[in-house]
Structure 1
Amino acid sequence: MDYKNIAKRIIDLRDADLALRQRLVQNGLLGEGYNEEMEELHNRNATLLNDIIDKIGYPTIDKVGEEASEAAWLVIQHAIGQPNFMKRCRELLKTAVSEHRADPRSLAYLTDRIAVFEGKPQLYGTQFDWDENGELSPARYDRIDRVNKRRRAIGLNTLEEQTILIRQRAKHERETPPKDMDKRKHQADAWKRKVGWAR
């Protein structure tokens, strides 16, 4: 198996994702719903990565190196229109983390993202969204002391510290809250039903 070539392919998927995101940020097109071009890229990347996973299993650090393993996680994290793929990867990643072949922080982020899309409280407080005050805040989570204990166990800062950083980044990238929160919520709910996160 040519892991070096596979690693390069995974990194190329990540680079295409980040380049598109940067272009959308520069053009002020990030924030109002799920950008159509971004959705297409995320779905295409998920399909290509799924094919790779079919061949080699989860792209662990020992197989493809740290950079490509992190790149694979980013592609999975952004594959929000592919619930089955994300859940499959979460199970594979759980095994890889238990074998010390992947970063537990990757599993925390993926676990939280899936929980949020399923309407469940997150465990690590990694997922943020706009609140009614127009601020980025953590999506629903269980008790803050438990969240911070879990975060510390895998080397993350506190949720309070992370909230400050997330808000600073949004300001730097000129992200603004949606103009119509109710409309955005209805659109998000319809999209979740369409792709299979909700019924």
Structure 2
Amino acid sequence: MDYKSIAKKIIDLKNADLALREKLVQNGQLGEGYNEEMKELHNRNARALNDFIEVIGYPTIDKVGPEANEAAWLVIQHAIGLPRFMKKCAALLKTAVMNNKADPKYLAYLTDRIAVFEGKPQLYGTQFDWDEQGYLSPNFYDDLTKVNQRRESIGLNKLEDQTVIIRQRAKIENQLAPRDFEKRKREIEEWRKNVGWIK
């Protein structure tokens, strides 16, 4: 079966996501909570990708090529309001990685994102958020030495180096720390409950 048309559609989903993100960066709106337009796009993209998964299974490299495989991961990574979908995809991605049909880095990012939303320590330190001092810092993780060992095992740089990169990118994109840290924390907790990450 030829999956070229599906691959192109998956890449189109990713491009729409990145275009909207760039628009929000240009308007200085990226750090202002979960933008409504972005939320709608993320959910729409996830539904479309889920339809493709129903037809072809997980979009592995051998089926759709490396670009669409990466695009599928990005859509899943951004489907933050759909816990069941993200967890389902994480299980499929884990199988794909075990069969050398997807990049283990994608699984690391997705595993960490799910852990953070569930209030668990991340394993690879891939997820960052603003801290009380107004810096982007890694979300809670278990042990720095272990995190760096896990990162190295899949070809990621040291967490300390990644922190510098993340903060530099935020500066370039004019991302600003939330004005009211405690209020934002409360809003995130409420959102996590509402969408079903925590009870």
TM-score by length of 1: 0.99
Q: List runs of 5+ in structure 2 lacking aligned partners.
A: none
**What RMSD, in angstroms, separates the aligned Cα atoms of the two structures?**
0.5
User: Match of 1:165?
Assistant: 165
Alpha-carbon deviations, 1:52-106, whole Å to 9, x = none?
0011111000000000000000000000000000000000000000000000000
How far off is 1:197 after superposition? 0.5
2:102 is paired with a residue whose SS is coil
User: Match of 2:108?
Assistant: 108
User: Match of 1:49?
Assistant: 49
Separation in 2, partners of 1:195, 1:60: 28
How far off is 1:187 after superposition? 1.0
> How many residue pairs were aligned?
199
User: Match of 1:27?
Assistant: 27
User: Match of 1:175?
Assistant: 175
User: Match of 2:11?
Assistant: 11
2:100 is paired with a residue whose SS is coil
Separation in 1, partners of 2:106, 2:142: 20
User: Match of 1:135?
Assistant: 135
How far off is 1:6 after superposition? 0.3
2:122 is paired with a residue whose SS is coil
Separation in 2, partners of 1:63, 1:197: 31
Separation in 1, partners of 2:166, 2:76: 21
User: Match of 1:87?
Assistant: 87
Separation in 1, partners of 2:2, 2:86: 25
TM-score by length of 2: 0.99
How far off is 1:135 after superposition? 0.2
1:142-153 aligned at under 5 Å gives the runs: 142-153=142-153
Separation in 1, partners of 2:6, 2:57: 12
Q: List runs of 5+ in structure 1 lacking aligned partners.
A: none
Separation in 1, partners of 2:91, 2:121: 19
Separation in 2, partners of 1:189, 1:33: 13
User: Match of 2:76?
Assistant: 76
How far off is 1:2 after superposition? 3.3
User: Match of 1:189?
Assistant: 189
Displacement over 4 Å in runs of 4+: none
Pair 1:122-2:122 in alignment:
yes
